Amino acid sequence: MSSAPGPEGPPTVLPRKRRGIELVMLAFALLLGLGAYAQVDVNVTGALGPRFVPVAVGCTVGVLLTHLAVRWRLPYADPLLLPCVVVLNGLGLAMIHRIDLISEPVAHGARQQLIWTTLGVVVFLAVAVGLRDHRPLQRYPYTIGLVGVVLLLLPLVPGIGTAKFGAQIWIQVGPYSFQPAEAAKVLLAVAFASYLVEKRDVLALAGYRVLGLDLPRARDLGPILLVWLLSLAILVLQRDLGTSLLFFGLFVMMLYVATERAGWAVLGLLLFAAGAWFGYLNFGHVRVRVGAWLHPFSDFDAYYQVISAQFGYAYGGLLGTGLGLGRPGLTPLARSDFIAAAVGEELGMAGLMALIMVYGLFVARGLRTALQCREPFGKLLAAGLAFAFALQVFAIIGGVTRLLPLTGLTTPFMSQGGSSMICNWIIVGLLMVISHQVRRPVATAASYRPDLETTQVVRVA
């Protein structure tokens, strides 16, 4: 940021737009993705595939379109969010393409993923051009929340809900299947944020102080218990550890940020521990995951997937086998849940770590947006979206690398799957919209004092 003396004396802060930086970074990101794609072709088949040129042109056009839309409608948005996404999305495409080439005849996962990416970009453009300001979303907490919960529970409805890989988290409409939990993630983040902004005073002020912790009143426990029960329901009925963990984590974190009371976080962790213990004791699928985490080699056949991912990491070593030169196809679901295993094998642990850093950068920019935001709804929403993203990356990559028990979450922007791709593009869109609003020059320059954070709160409603 640079400050220039305003006409009436007090300095007016004019944040730089940095769109040029974004363009350079986008070009770099595009180069990485397309380079990886070309390398896969050359290493596996010896020559560039026939689809490379159309793919390259399509991707370049898509990236340019997003950039132009941002330049036009969100000129002050954070310049690093989009390049991070393009790197991840591009490498994900290249990796899926690589796994396509293993099967005989060649599969078309990458083509499908490209279609999903296109849809994601379209949705992003719609958010950037159509929404521009996130604050109107605050108006309907209950409606949005209800829609989110309904979406979340939709896979349980007989007829449209289907179980894949042991989890009842898909709905099938005609030939298309959809994971509504991904959309619910965005909707519930919005609903939680607007609800908590409304209720945060009550939740923050009333309560008891025990052992230095401010504990909430029993009657205020309603919302957290409700979300807890909902998460347990997902765990029990849909057998989906990841989504369950993600929603509960998201809610507790937002509750803590909104109320500024550590008691909520402690309570949330206790509830989480209780839920996890309950799940471990009562459900075979939870025990299988924990078993695969603690002692995978005790049962080679049952824990094959996790073991194979470990073998992949070992085979790839620090620098990897090189794109197209490893054996990522040996791990089941290498395109979706286990894409981090494929990356680690072919790009090496160094490559996977670089990727984790890109995710980290994205999360950091999201949290930074939250810090800079001057009104509570945007703050909560940005922090919530960024943290949910971090939690998701932590859970899935941690699960694949055997840091944690495996939870079947998608790897954002990389895993094959339409619902995840579209919803994550919505998340980028929302974060960019918020950051644009945050960094935009304020109309009343005198009221803007960046050094006094507490005075920055702007009541809008």
Partner 1 sequence: MNGPIRRVAVVAMLMFALLLANGTYIVLFRQGPLDAMPQNRRVRDAEFSQNRGSILAAGKTEIATTVPSKDRFAYQRNYPSGSLYAPVTGYFSYDHASTGLENTYNTQLAGTADSLFVRRLIDLATNRTPQGASVQTTIVPKVQEAAATALGRQKGAVVALNPKTGAVLALVTSPGYDPNTVAGHDVEKADKAYDSLAADSSRPLSNRAAREIYPPGSTFKLVTAAAALADGKTPDSKVKAPDRLRLPGTSTYLPNEGSCGGTTITMEQALKVSCNTAFANLGLGVGEARLREQAQLFGFDARHLSDLGGVASQFPDSLDDAQLALSSIGQYDVAASPLQMAMVSSAIANDGVLMDPYVVSSVQAPDLTPIETHKPRVLSTAMTPGNAEALQQMMGVVVSQGTGTNARIAGVEVGGKTGTAQSDPKRKPFAWFTSFAPLDDPEIAVAVVVEDADIPRNDIAGGRLAAPIARAVMQAGLSR
- Contact positions toward partner 1, by CB under 8 A? 253, 256-258, 260, 297, 300, 307, 310-315, 317-318, 326-327, 330, 344, 349, 352-353, 356-357, 359-360, 363-364, 367, 370-371, 376, 379-380, 383, 386-387, 390-391, 393-394, 397-398, 401-403, 453
Residue placing its CB nearer to partner 1 in the complex, 317 or 441: 317
The answer to whether the CB of 217 falls within 8 A of the CB of 274 is: no
Distance of alpha carbon 42 from alpha carbon 46, whole angstroms: 4
Closest distance of CB 117 from partner 1, Å: 25
3-state secondary structure of 416: coil
In whole angstroms, the minimum distance from the beta carbon of 453 to partner 1 comes to: 5
Is residue 393 within 8 Å of residue 112, measured between CB atoms?
Answer: no
| Nearer to partner 1 among residue 8 and residue 301 (C-beta) | 301
We find the least distance from the C-beta atom of residue 41 to partner 1, in angstroms, to be 20
Residue 224 or 330: the one with the smaller Cβ distance to partner 1 is 330
Tokens of 392: 């998701």
Collapsing DSSP to helix, strand or coil, 315 comes out as: helix
Distance CA 405, CA 168 (A): 19
Smaller CB distance to partner 1: residue 211 or 452? 452
Q: What minimum distance in Å lies between the beta carbon of 124 and partner 1?
A: 23
Three-state SS at 121? helix
> What's the closest the beta carbon of residue 380 comes to partner 1, in angstroms?
7
Q: Which is nearer to partner 1, 23 or 307 (CB)?
A: 307
Tokens of 72: 């036009």
Indicate the SS3 state at residue 213: strand
**Complex with partner 1: residue 72 or 300, whichever CB lies closer:** 300
Cα–Cα distance measured from residue 30 to residue 86, given in angstroms and rounded to the nearest whole number: 7
Closest Cα partner for 413 from 89, 114, 185? 89
Shortest distance, CB of residue 190 to partner 1, whole angstroms? Answer: 17
Distance from C-alpha of 138 to C-alpha of 127, rounded to nearest angstrom = 15
Nearest to 377 by CA among 74, 75, 136, 124: 136
* CB closer to partner 1 out of 29 and 390: 390
**CB of residue 315 vs partner 1: minimum separation in angstroms?**
4
Backbone angles phi, psi at 2, to 5 degrees: -125, 145
